[in-house]
Structure 1
Amino acid sequence: MTDSHGKRRFDRRSVLKVIGTGIAGTAAAGRASETVSATTDGSTHYHNELYGPHFPDPTIHRDDSGTWWAYGTNMDRSDGSNDSEELLIPILRSDNLHEWTYVGEAFDSRPGWTYGSIWAPDIHYYDGEWVMFYSLSPRPWESGEFGIGLAKSDTPDGPFTDYGQILGDNDHEGGGSIDGYFVEHDGTPYLFWGSFQGIYVTELTADLQDWKPSTLQQVAGQAYEGTCVFRRNGYWYLFVATGTCCDGYSSTYEVEVGRSQSLFGPYTDPSGTDMLNYDANNAGVAQLTANSRFAAPGHGDIATDDNGRDWFVYHAYDRNDQEYVDDVPARQFFLDRVEWTEDDWPLIAGDKTPSLQSVEPNANDTGVLDDGIYRIANENSGKLLEVADAGTADGDNVRQWSNSGCACQRWWVEYVGGGEYRIVNQNSNRALDVTDGSTANGASLQQWGWWTGPSQKWEIVENGDGTYRLRNVNSGKVADVLNASTEDGADVVQYDWTGDANQRWSFDFVKTVQPADDGRPW
């Protein structure tokens, strides 16, 4: 799809954007080409994917020295001809959460209670040992029972000693006995599990080698697998995957989240629906879903960095990096920031789609303004920055106008790292942009769907008097009211910095992030 200038046109789902992200398009001016690439800033940013070609179902834990350890699936989905190449749970390590090195395999030999692929590991440090729950399932050409096994090691790099199956499909009516996730609560060990036949939780024995059937209960419906459980601010959060994981680029995997004040539920999603009510015929509110480059994100885990920021590790497909394993597109290792709304809901990757580039974990890269919704007023006229006539189309003009209460006069201001912001209109969900990426004095400001280019990125610079200037990253020029007008409807343009009042802006805070079902942060 192209606009009237013949430039390729993007909607907000066709590119990558994230709280804490600094992304640049391939063109310095005008619209980007169809391929979006990231700027290189090794000092403050990392790029997804983190590791490939194949690392599905990642789980993560940190040791006492500060080293991160990640474990993933590596399985043969063909006809068994590559069986000898199947890794028995690959292990990665990292000192910073975004640069990963392959260490080896968790097992010296295949667990023997069912001959099949080992997948969906879950790692924790518990009672002085590294504890791994893993799924073992018959491959398409084999027979046997789906189930969850237990292995332990004194060190995170193994080798892990197998303790065999602790739970299988024949043990209970629920079925779907894979994708375990371990939780210790008030000194008692529990295990969550399930795959499209309900998500369940049960108490484990003290040695973790068996479960207590009398404690079994269901916490989510048949729409889900790939559970991750996380506790924060008095809530238990149930992160689950739904859709198809393994159909290559046509896969529909995504992440939904429910929460409860009790470990045992009920878990309700942001719409207020009990997750027990979701099955194969309906879906809840996606908190992480695909975009035009990255397909089928899901089945992840949560880590917290040294600054107390939370990060979601997961797998997804990269359409631009088409690695294959056993003639099937590879699922690769991703990381994205988890922000929390003021009413305690997680917001993954800013717009709920995988990011291409983000500010590194543990980085002390912060902006001069907190992320949130603001009215932006000109110091000279006192009038507000708005989209003309409350327009919602690409290319609509940006001007000044007296306060009318219109959502077109409110802007989502989001720090994307490296001193740069994106500024998105609340009414249209389009970003503040410079016409055709111009670098000329007097070029009009407009709105455009977020395509990550430098003409959509702004430095918010303190002037020392409580006001700020908006400096365009592409042109280096600042937002200015044409001819220093004080009239309603006066055009807002870019111009060299003169220090005049018509180039100075104040930010009136309205509210913090509030996600909606369509992914908008309000």
Structure 2
Amino acid sequence: MSRRSVLQVIGASAVGTAGLSRSSGTASAVRPGDGFYENPLYGPDFADPTVHRADDGTWWAYASNMSYSQESDEMLVPMLSSPDLVDWTYEGEAFSSRPGWTLGSIWAPDVHYHDGQWVLFYSLWPRNDGEGDQTGIGVATADAPGGPYTDHGKLFTNPEHPFSGNTIDPYFVYHEGTPYLFWGNFAGIYYVELTGDLRDYRSDTWGQIVGSAYEGSTIFQRDGYWYYFGSTGDCCDGFDSTYEVEVGRAESLLGPYHDKEGTPMMDRNEWNAGPTHLGDDDRFVGPGHGDVTVADDGTYWFVYHAYDTEGPENADQYGWPPARQLFVDRIYWTGDGWPVIGGDATPSATAPVPNLGQRSAPVAEGTYHVVDAQSGRYLGLDGSDQGASAVVAASDSGAQVEWQVRRLSGGEYVLENTGSELALEVADGDTSDGADVRQWPYHGHPTQRWYVVEDGDGQYRLDNACSGKVAEVANASTADGANVQQWTWNTGDHQRWRFVPVDGRDRPPAVGENANAPTDPDGDGLYEDLNGNGEADYSDVVDYFNNMDEPAMTDHADAYDYNGNGEVDFADLVDLFGRVN
């Protein structure tokens, strides 16, 4: 399936042209190693997950179980626990026996810790698919997240409220001393106030917040806004499912909610009609119906289900239930406060782990030259205007190759050119191999965020948070002015970079006639590349011998004193010979 465009998230002001040049070397993906995880995280059946964190830091997730083959096969709310949102352990079932107020399957649980107890709201869907029975929502409580949960019966069923549609998909919000329950299933998303013990509702408090396009709601507050995450489309048609997540926000819990296009969410009455915040990609299908949690480093995470087309389409041999597996993806936030789930609004195959921002920084904040590990050339720009493309340059002189590197709370970095004060990004949020890397005013989208991943020997790769691909020198070129693009990580030296601090000292001038300014290929503060061709080789030994008495070298002895004796002499020449040999 085609990947949805991320341009709607970035905005029209950031539109430019993507590069199409090829990379040398294989394009096959390489496992990312420490600091990354891989989706899906649990399966083949963990649908409609809800997540809540205990005081000891453990995350607990709960899900529907939709086995229709035999009543005895159905799990009564399967539970998982995790110390890190990535490694999940099965913990059994929330109920020891089926709630008895109707013979139904337990769907779409919603779990919160409230007033000293763990509270589980759940949907009951009649096992005869509604013939003569009504769908409804019940409530149960437990003293610990792993239960056992004591059922307190139904809150209400279809005939007991004034709205149409099935009474499923509860979501609980406690705000300013008032408990609210939201629910709905493609007939509108509704709410009602609950009594203080959460066992009943206040019948004069019914209301609606969004239109009939949605189910599987999640509602939370962030930075002055209430956000509504709703699922729309077909959830359960296997690999042909059209499920996706759309988002609205409001200044008040009860609305009015508007989506990113400014459309009132009450007017969204068609499947997949609004801006997509999480949709299909070429591998993963039908993402949706999840929950939001916050990690210790302040990053937001969406826990949801989706299909993996490289895995099963159905969870068992009977052709049912559909194999909706557990996924987790980070929610990034643009500068104007809109979420981008997974970096590019599609599920991630691999992604940086939660709480990465609490790990030690691979590179300290500061001003750097970013040096290509293959050629020794410097990351720079082919112009000073917004939209100028990133290139590599032979010389390290001038602010155009100096980058202010700052780390965000989630562990990713922003690289801003000190000359232009513009941020390094992949053009247009493009996720394809060969997309151009350029500069643009900072707007906070993941396409301007980079994970700096240590790769040994003082080298790093730059992983784009939007695409998951790395910055590289196109075609593994060693030429001055070669373009910088993104490509799938293939371990090439042209995909590795060194961060060389800019210490403010004067750079040594060119050595000899018709030479470029020297460079420091290994970033150790010594200039082994005397002729500025991007690498230290035998020609530099010759240049050293021919010019060691010239002021260009003697006046800058600290740049060429390889053996540390304080002067430029034959001992340094021998040392340089050993370095290039």
Normalised TM-score (structure 2):
0.66
Letter in 1 for 2:462: Y
Alpha carbons of structure 1 residues 430 and 231: separation in structure 2 relative to 1, 3 Å:
same
Partner of 1:235: 225
Aligned to 2:374: none
Match of 1:352 in 2: 345
User: Are residues 1:290 and 2:280 paired?
Assistant: yes
Counterpart of 2:169 in structure 1 is 179
- Alpha-carbon spacing, 1:444–1:129, altered in 2? closer, same or farther (3 Å): same
Give 1:66 deviation, angstroms.
1.3
Where does structure 1 lack aligned partners over 5 or more consecutive residues?
Answer: 1-9, 15-27, 468-482, 487-494, 505-522
8 Å contact 1:300–1:314 — kept in the other structure? Answer: yes
Q: CA deviation at 1:60?
A: 0.8
CA displacement at 1:448 relative to structure 2: 6.1
* Distance of 1:230 and 1:209 partners within structure 2: 22
User: Equivalent residue for 1:156?
Assistant: 145
Give the AA of the match of 2:350: Q
Determine the structure 2 residue equivalent to 1:465.
503
Letter in 1 for 2:105: S
Partner SS, residue 287 of structure 1: coil
User: Is the 8 Å Cα contact of residues 395 and 446 (structure 1) preserved in structure 2?
Assistant: no
Say yes or no: does 1:324 pair with 2:314.
yes
CA contact (8 A) 1:145 1:169 kept: yes
Q: 2:435 & 2:102 partners in 1: Cα distance?
A: 64
Q: Whole-Å Cα distance in 2 between the matches of residues 153 and 345 of structure 1?
A: 35
Q: Please give the alpha-carbon distance, in whole angstroms, between the structure 2 residues aligned to 1:393 and 1:348.
A: 14
**1:47 aligned residue (27, 38, 43):** 38
Contact 1:422/1:457 (8 A) holds in 2: no
Task: Tell me the CA shift for residue 176 of structure 1.
Answer: 2.7
1:112, distance to aligned residue in structure 2 (A): 1.6
Unaligned runs of 5+ in 2: 6-22, 367-385, 402-416, 418-423, 455-460, 506-513, 536-581
Determine the structure 2 residue equivalent to 1:103.
Answer: 91
Of 413, 433, 449, the residue aligned with 1:414 is: 449
Question: Would you say the 8 A contact 1:380–1:502 is kept in 2?
Answer: no
Matched AA of 1:415: W
The alpha carbon displacement at 1:309 in A equals 1.4
1:82 CA displacement: 2.9
Q: Deviations over 1:249-268 (max 9, x none)?
A: 11111111111110000111
Query: Does the C-alpha gap of structure 1 residues 242 and 463 become closer, same or farther in structure 2, counting only changes over 3 Å?
Result: same
Kindly indicate which of the two structures has a greater share of residues assigned to strand. Answer: 1
Greater helix fraction, Structure 1 or Structure 2: 2
**Tell me, what secondary structure is at the counterpart of 2:64?**
coil
Which of 266, 278, 282 is the equivalent residue of 1:276? 266
How far is the alpha carbon of 1:496 from its aligned partner?
8.4
The DSSP-based 3-state class of the residue aligned with 1:170 is helix
Q: 1:287 to 1:502 in 2, by over 3 A?
A: farther
Which stretch shows the higher mean deviation, 87-96 or 321-330?
Answer: 321-330
How far does residue 84 in structure 1 lie from its aligned partner after superposition? 1.4
In structure 2, distance between residues paired with 1:252 and 1:484 = 61
Question: Which residue in the other structure is 1:510 paired with?
Answer: none
Give the C-alpha shift of residue 224 in structure 1: 0.5
Aligned to 2:565: none
SS in 1 for 2:258: coil
Change (3 A) 1:265 1:499: farther
Length-normalised TM-score, structure 1: 0.73
CA deviation vs aligned residue, 1:345-401 (integer Å, no higher than 9, x gap)? 22211111111122221233556579xx996585447768999xx9x998989899x
C-alpha separation in 2, matches of 1:65 and 1:168: 36
1:186-265 aligned within 5 A: 186-265=176-255
SS at match of 2:327: strand
Distance 1:221 1:12, change over 3 A: closer
Equivalent residue runs for 1:391-470 within 5 Å: 412-416=447-451, 418-419=453-454, 420-422=461-463, 432-436=471-475, 438=476, 441-442=478-479, 445-446=482-483, 451=488, 453-454=490-491, 457-459=495-497, 461-465=499-503
In structure 2, how many angstroms separate the alpha carbons of the residues matched to 1:396 and 1:102?
A: 41
Residues 62, 109 of structure 2: 8 Å contact kept: yes
Q: What CA distance in whole angstroms lies between the structure 2 residues aligned with 1:457 and 1:279?
A: 46
| Aligned counterpart, 1:515 | none
The 8 Å contact of residues 116 and 142 in structure 1, kept in 2 or not, is answered as no
Superposed CA offset, 1:446-479 (max 9, x none): 5667545555855461333379xxxxxxxxxxxx
Secondary structure class of the residue paired with 1:118: strand
User: 1-side partners of 2:83 and 2:431: how far apart?
Assistant: 45
Helix, strand or coil for the counterpart of 2:159? helix
Q: Given the alignment of the two structures, is residue 59 of structure 1 paired with residue 50 of structure 2, yes or no? A: yes
1:32 aligns with 2:27: yes
Cα distance 1:412–1:231, how it changes in 2: closer, same or farther (>3 A)? closer
Query: Secondary structure at the residue paired with 2:266?
Result: helix
Report the equivalent of 1:508.
none
- Aligned counterpart, 1:23: none
Which stretch shows the higher mean deviation, 495-504 or 195-204? 495-504
Shift of 1:128: 0.9
Matched residue of 2:277: which SS?
A: strand
Q: How far is 1:236 from its partner?
A: 0.8
More displaced stretch, 202-211 vs 166-175? 166-175
RMSD: 4.1
Shift of 1:68: 1.2
Aligned pair in 2 of structure 1 residues 350, 206: CA closer, same or farther (>3 Å)? same
Structure 1 position 92 matched with structure 2 position 80: yes
Residue deviations 1:308-341 (CA, integer Å, cap 9, x gap): 1111111111111226324244111111111222
Who is 2:109 aligned against?
121
Contact 1:374 1:413 in 2 (8 A): no
Amino acid at match of 2:41: L
The AA in structure 1 aligned to 2:70 is N
Q: How far 1:414 sits from its partner (Å)? A: 2.6
Deviations for 1:409-434, whole angstroms, at most 9, x for unmatched residues? xx9543235243246999xx997544
Deviation at 1:443, TM superposition (A): 9.9
Matched, 1:70 2:61: yes
Of the candidates 276, 297, 302, which is equivalent to residue 312 of structure 1?
Answer: 302
CA drift of 1:30 comes to 3.3
**Hey, what's the Cα distance between the residues in 2 that align with 1:161 and 1:318?**
35
CA 1:288–1:452 in structure 2 vs 1: closer, same or farther (change >3 Å)?
A: farther
Q: Secondary structure at the match of 1:61?
A: strand
SS across alignment from 1:32: coil
